[in-house]
Structure 1
């Protein structure tokens, strides 16, 4: 346990917390440096975390595309993970084994429109072109090859197939699957729209308009140096409550910039608006999350905005705040089936200077202890 009182930077809201009196349970309160990836696999995951910051979100193409699931944003660490992102006919291509890393994003709306957007990194441009051809052949074989070759206007480097997608209890929805080679990258899009093939094509065109310039700003890591890639380049992850390895996913144990972090938000459009107001710069995701903002006042407003959204959209009911942190924390009890949890849970948020802490678990006391430990960890460094 760390003794002492929290110290706030000049100009930040008052209300210090006596850290010595916090109930942190058995959770750690001391920052732990993360070091480097240490292996090619872990390096590919770290590269995927970096890449996420340069991947266009479907909501940027159409603000109604916000509905998703646990895999709405997904780091792809190897060719074996392609089955989680692509149709079976595309996931098993020979060149897939040479991919360095990737990221997959998808969202849908209430009208059955959806966009699945995948960005893959390859060792060089020639390998990427070969992989793109193989992905295109796989796209042509979807649904027994029932689709037809399709052209995306103004995209000579893009091959596409037009067809339909079967949805349970719904009429078939027009779909376009497109593959684009761009330097060391292959961008794969599957867009569906009840408004027809041209509407789906327009979605593909717009996502490429947004995506390709972003990739030109990304600096991929030399594949031979993946194991040396820092896991925590900012140092914020070391100050974030660590997650048990049995609960960690390829998306966690990471620090994301704003665009990257939006991929993991329940409503990325609303989150983008909140973060624009708060001057959000980064978010660490481990056991819970820590979001860095412009200053303490901005963090406090972000807390209020986030609590209102969770209360309104997820039927959150007020619960006791974190002990000894009554002035800078709030907790809600959530019914099952909300915020990614199939069972009832407790959700708590708190501010620690310019940082916003958020955590969720099945028990209120456990969640409160995690938030208290996270507060102590941030204030100890």
Structure 2
């Protein structure tokens, strides 16, 4: 489990598998944008009466919601990101495939093109093969077994779903990727050989052996390619086949539920960038820092669990947090204020279990909870604040910035629509 990892948006991504070195049911068409993006509730949360706004230090961060985002219209590249965020909710997270895969990691994110996929496969040839004509978007998520020490050899996997504009394009891509996987590898890459898995005749498979055993699989299903990359310790090669069987069995019915937006040449398509009007309440990114792996946008419980860990999945689902904004800060919206309190408790308890300790609340904002931890890469500071049905979360290496952001986030949330769907 990785709590609140901060990542530079331009940082290089390292594949967790080692060897392979929105969301919601809201569709992407015809959703009207709110005229203002915010219709603040007149109700005041009980906790907010303890806040002294005159004492709040918000630094240079905004204290009001952003302007409405509107729509992305093809061929605007933003439409790829928005559709990939929606797709994330229909990609199986690793712990649903193997319950021991709870240590989330990179690579995770939306597929904007073949450059993203080089981090998934650690192979330019396989990534380029995925970019055959017809690639629309995709989403990938990674995790492994927790390690007690860095040298431990554990299982890990990356689950990837690519969307193409036709079943024919998906089938062509699956064959091309598998052919590239079993071709002579470039210098520094791991060699894969052709393989099969019983009872999966439609899945193309390659296997790596020796010091870095594992498997890659490619399954064309309707207009999608499902790919699972598995790394296992020497001596556990048989477990890779079982993991891929489970991955395919769980992924197919889930992706069949995805309400894909028509994005094909010659068809004018559009997607609402701020699904259910929540991204307007997040603090904008201005310094190259984001929640690890995710691009700015709106994600459902599975998208959030891809970065925050599987333990958050059920919490968000059970408390109605179907749309969550990710930008410089993260904003969750629950069904009720009580549900929001449940999410807040889970977030804080998760951090404390990961070794964080409580630190002081910002001046004037006793309703905020901040935690801190010294890590190998520096100090990490996370802060959370509730306001009605919303929870705001900020995170930074700098404790002052984390507190300034959460103070600004609180003021933004006082202007949020508490009746939003």
> Which range, TM-score by smaller chain?
0.7 to 0.9
Q: Distance in 2 between matches of 1:248 and 1:186?
A: 28
Aligned to 1:23: 57
| 1:40–1:227 contact (8 Å) kept in structure 2 | no
Aligned to 2:227: 188
Aligned to 1:313: 354
Report the CA distance between 1:154 and its aligned residue: 2.1
Aligned to 1:296: 337
| 1:58–1:105 contact (8 Å) kept in structure 2 | yes
- Equivalent residue in structure 1 for 2:119, among 76, 81, 84: 84
Report the CA distance between 1:262 and its aligned residue: 0.8
CA separation of 1:160/1:246 partners in 2, compared to 1, >3 Å: closer, same or farther? same
Report the CA distance between 1:91 and its aligned residue: 1.2
| 2:164–2:223 contact (8 Å) kept in structure 1 | yes
* TM-score for the superposition, normalised by structure 1: 0.85
Aligned to 1:169: none
Aligned to 1:255: 298
Q: Distance in 1 between matches of 2:397 and 2:191?
A: 47
Q: Distance in 2 between matches of 1:228 and 1:85?
A: 28
Q: Distance in 1 between matches of 2:299 and 2:137?
A: 16
Q: Distance in 2 between matches of 1:191 and 1:73?
A: 15
- Equivalent residue in structure 2 for 1:46, among 67, 79, 82: 82
Aligned to 1:218: 258
- CA offsets 1:115-160 (integer angstroms, 9 cap, x no match): 1211111111111111111011012126589544322232221111
- Equivalent residue in structure 1 for 2:279, among 237, 242, 263: 237
- CA offsets 1:237-273 (integer angstroms, 9 cap, x no match): 01211112744687232111111211111xx232234
Report the CA distance between 1:285 and its aligned residue: 0.7
Q: Does 1:322 align with 2:362?
A: yes
- Equivalent residue in structure 2 for 1:271, among 312, 335, 341: 312
Report the CA distance between 1:186 and its aligned residue: 0.9
CA separation of 1:13/1:281 partners in 2, compared to 1, >3 Å: closer, same or farther? farther
Q: Count residues with an aligned counterpart.
A: 360
Report the CA distance between 1:6 and its aligned residue: 8.4
- CA offsets 1:341-377 (integer angstroms, 9 cap, x no match): x221322111111211110113223212211211211
Structure 2, unaligned runs of 5 or more: 1-39, 148-152, 417-421
CA separation of 1:99/1:347 partners in 2, compared to 1, >3 Å: closer, same or farther? same
| 1:87–1:142 contact (8 Å) kept in structure 2 | no
CA separation of 1:158/1:61 partners in 2, compared to 1, >3 Å: closer, same or farther? same
Q: Distance in 2 between matches of 1:58 and 1:189?
A: 10
Report the CA distance between 1:211 and its aligned residue: 0.7
CA separation of 1:227/1:286 partners in 2, compared to 1, >3 Å: closer, same or farther? farther
| 2:104–2:306 contact (8 Å) kept in structure 1 | no
Q: Secondary structure at the match of 1:275?
A: helix
CA separation of 1:72/1:82 partners in 2, compared to 1, >3 Å: closer, same or farther? closer
* TM-score for the superposition, normalised by structure 2: 0.78
Q: Does 1:58 align with 2:98?
A: no
Report the CA distance between 1:75 and its aligned residue: 1.0
Q: Which has the higher contact order (CA 8 A, sep 6+)?
A: 2
Bigger share in helix: 1
| 2:380–2:395 contact (8 Å) kept in structure 1 | yes
Structure 1, unaligned runs of 5 or more: 167-171
- Equivalent residue in structure 2 for 1:354, among 386, 389, 396: 389
CA separation of 1:7/1:25 partners in 2, compared to 1, >3 Å: closer, same or farther? farther
Aligned to 1:336: 375
| 1:237–1:284 contact (8 Å) kept in structure 2 | yes
Report the CA distance between 1:73 and its aligned residue: 1.7
Report the CA distance between 1:77 and its aligned residue: 0.4
| 1:105–1:116 contact (8 Å) kept in structure 2 | yes
Q: Secondary structure at the match of 2:406?
A: helix
Q: Secondary structure at the match of 1:242?
A: coil
